Structure 1
Amino acid sequence: MSFFRVVTGFAAGSCSTVHKTGDDDELEPYLTELAFLPDKRLVAVDDMNRKCIILDERLQRLGTPYKFKAFPHGVVCMSHDALCVTFGYGKVVLPLSESTHNIIRPTREIRTSSNFYSVCCMSPSHMVVGTYDDPRPARMLSVDGVEADFDHFLTFTMKTYKVDESMCTYVRSNNTLVLTDRFAHTVYIYDTAKGTSRAVTNENIQEPRGSCVGPGDSVLVCSMRKDSIVHLTIDGKILGTYPVDMKFANNICVSKDGNRLAVSNSARGNTKLKLYNITSNGLDDL
């Protein structure tokens, strides 16, 4: 049984479709990563239009989107008012401040030695970042800009990913790194304390993309070619597979209280963003 229930869509009349904002030069949005703020507002980065967007609980835009000079890839909420955004080529991470009035401002610029794609919170002061064009598929980065590597990576994977081939998440309570390998149709689960890892494959895991920490420190992964979400334990056991009403689901995040889930996709001409309640009552569209 699914534990998701759709509570709202993106806009009235076409409740789950991601629309342009109306700017003359705006392209069809492509949301490359999502993050909840502690008060359940949702932050999304739009790679195609180089924007950071804040949305309310009905997925209506709040304030004015922040416009970047480069193309954003990942976003993470580090505290109640601090975000960090990764970018395509340029080896830059940009910390942002966010106010209750939905005003986004850059605070400084972090120059890195690696190209980072996805990003997730490891602790209030550290992030885990997925790399590309780097033999270390995931690294650590402090909010002060200090980079570090995980131990025992030789037992994990030596693969160097290209952009958009892998994304990561981190289960803080269990020191567990989760890495998706899109074209190997594999989810790697790595115990960073013990240095042990396992590769999870299943017919329902096809082009896995974004992942996040789910209920009870489980893991949720978007199976893009199956238009679904796969639910796993940190031991790699599959608890369930839940279809979502969108083609090519590829990004996912859960709110800080564990009760709300957001999913977006990458289907050109039919991009969507949906919000779910995490319940035990099934998947019911409004």
Structure 2
Amino acid sequence: MGNDFIKQNCNDSKPGCLSSRSRPVTLELLVSVDLPKTRDDKKEPFLTGLDFLPDGRLAAVDNKHEQLIILNERLQRLGTPYKFKTPPKDVVYLPNNRLAVACRKIVCFLFVTSDNVIVLTKEINTTSSFLCIDYMSPSNMVVSTYDDPRPVRMITVGGVESDFNQVRFPNKTYKTDESMCTYVQSKNTLVLTDRYAHIVYMYDTVKGTSIAVTDENIQEPRGACVGPDDTVLLCSQKNNSIVHLTIDGKILGTYPVDMKGPYSICVSKDGSKLAVSNSVVGNRKLQLFKIAAAHS
């Protein structure tokens, strides 16, 4: 992996691990809904991607039913789902009520009206297969790949693909569902989860430095997202929990969730709510939590 990696297992005694603004939080369960197969469904829903709109509505992609759905704060469906031609993998909110949805080698751009009408505005064919898509800037997105030696790439809203040439990734090609990513824009930090190595990689995309975070609380890390004060929240699938950590690798907290195999996660634009879905067949759920600062 190169000499720029620091293997880091942070604890309270390590100096320099905790960012000055980063603080622990509490999670309070607000709503939990089961996602069973209904009488009309041939398959059980599988929400592989989540993201909030600024007004608090939640966008979710159902991989098994090849659709995008909009949900309210009670996790009830709004409007009519948008049907894709191929199974969607992930969704990210873009400015001006736009969504970008990764569908393997296609990125679909959609507009969501205030009354929950979803309109396809553009499709882009890509050279890499995308599993995860996240916001990087108004014109750029970061994407995790599979079956590609470049595990994380960038793509513009115009469809131009490029690479993080200044950082050194693990010398491996991930298969589908083996790695996911997020990007902490204000810190220029790219986060990559390595499921079966039980590692979370943190890359400074400006300095080109990296750390590999391991911890007993991080077991089969899956989806990750930006948390309050430039922190990271991620799903520890094997531990059935959410892990909160800084971009320096400091574990701020671990939160057990009442679902098996948490998979996808997102935080609202105001940082007050967290949504998480899971991947276990026969017991799929979607849950919404309130995020609050922990009292010292």
Please show how residues 149-188 of structure 1 align to structure 2 within 5 Å. Answer: 149-153=163-167, 155-188=168-201
Partner in structure 1 of residue 35 of structure 2:
18
Aligned residue number for residue 133 of structure 2? 119
Number of residue pairs aligned between Structure 1 and Structure 2:
272
Alignment match, 2:6: none
In the alignment, which of 73, 81, 88 is matched to residue 65 of structure 1?
81
- Report Cα offsets for 1:123-178 as digits up to 9, x if no partner: 1111000011111111111111111111223x332221111110000000000000
- 1:251 CA drift (Å): 0.8
The equivalences for 1:54-133 within 5 A come to: 54-88=70-104, 91-133=105-147
The amino acid that maps onto 1:62 is L
How far apart in 2 are the matches of 1:26 and 1:136?
Answer: 35
Tell me whether 184-193 or 158-167 shows the greater mean CA deviation.
Answer: 158-167
Look up the SS of the partner of 1:108 in the other structure.
strand
Question: SS in structure 2 opposite 1:216?
Answer: helix
Indicate whether 1:238 and 2:251 are aligned. yes
Find the counterpart in structure 2 of residue 134 from structure 1: 148
Q: Distance in 2 between matches of 1:254 and 1:206?
A: 21
Question: Which one of 264, 269, 287 corresponds to residue 251 of structure 1?
Answer: 264
Which letter maps to 1:235?
D
Identity over aligned residues, as a percent?
60
Distance 1:189 1:225 in 2: 21
Identify the match of residue 288 of structure 2 among 250, 272, 275: 275
Give distance in 2, aligned partners of 1:281 and 1:177: 26
Structure having the higher strand fraction is 2
Unaligned segments of structure 2, at least 5 residues: 1-23
Q: TM-score when scaled to structure 1? A: 0.92
Q: Which residue of 1 aligns with 2:12?
A: none
| Counterpart amino acid of residue 132 in structure 1 | Y
Structure 2 match to 1:13: none
How far apart are the structure 2 equivalents of 1:23 and 1:123? Answer: 42
Q: 1:177 to 1:34 in 2, by over 3 A?
A: same
TM-score by length of 2: 0.89
Q: CA RMSD in A?
A: 1.4
| Kept after mapping to 2: 8 A contact 1:118/1:131 | yes
- CA deviation string 1:223-282 (max 9, x = no partner): 000000111100111111111111001110000010110011011111000001101469
Instruction: Tell me the equivalent position of 1:37.
Output: 53
Residue in structure 1 matched with residue 13 of structure 2 by the alignment: none
Alpha-carbon separation, structure 2, partners of 1:33 and 1:209 = 12
In structure 1, runs of 5+ residues without a counterpart are 10-15
Classify the secondary structure of the residue corresponding to 1:107. Answer: strand
Q: Any conservation in 2 of the 1:118–1:130 contact (CA below 8 Å)?
A: yes
2:159 aligns to what?
145
SS of the aligned residue for 2:186 comes to helix
Task: Return the letter of the residue paired with 2:236.
Answer: S
What do the CA deviations read for 1:44-83 (whole angstroms, capped 9, x no partner)? 0000111101000000000011111101101000123110
Specify the SS of the correspondent of 1:114: strand
